[in-house]
Amino acid sequence: MADIKFEIKKTAGVLSESTKGWNKELNLISWNDKEAKYDIRDWDADHKKMGKGITLTIEELKGLKELLSGMEL
């Protein structure tokens, strides 16, 4: 399997921390030297290992924000 190249351009914040010390984070990440996108996924403390996640364009992130602001929690 080919290596995946990534660069975290900006950390927006930590959403939660697991009992194993991994953090679920929202970051702006460039994957394989492409345009940076927003990304939610679990990371180990050193940002060397990652879990599965979801990547969003700025338009998709704005849409998610709008959906969440209209929800009753």
22-72 pLDDT tens trace: 999 999 999 999 999 999 999 999 999 999 999 999 999 999 999 999 999
| Phi, psi values for residue 72, rounded to 5° | -95, 120
Nearest to 40 by CA among 72, 70, 64: 64
The model's pTM:
0.88
pLDDT of 2 > 80? The answer is no
Q: What is the 8-class DSSP label of residue 71?
A: S
pLDDT of residue 73: 81
- At residue 1, the pLDDT reads 56
What is the CATH number that goes with domain 6-69? 2.30.31.70
Across the beta sheet with 23-31, the strand order is: 6-17, 23-31, 37-43, 50-56
Length of the chain: 73
The pair of three-digit structure tokens given for residue 10, joined into one six-digit string = 């900006």
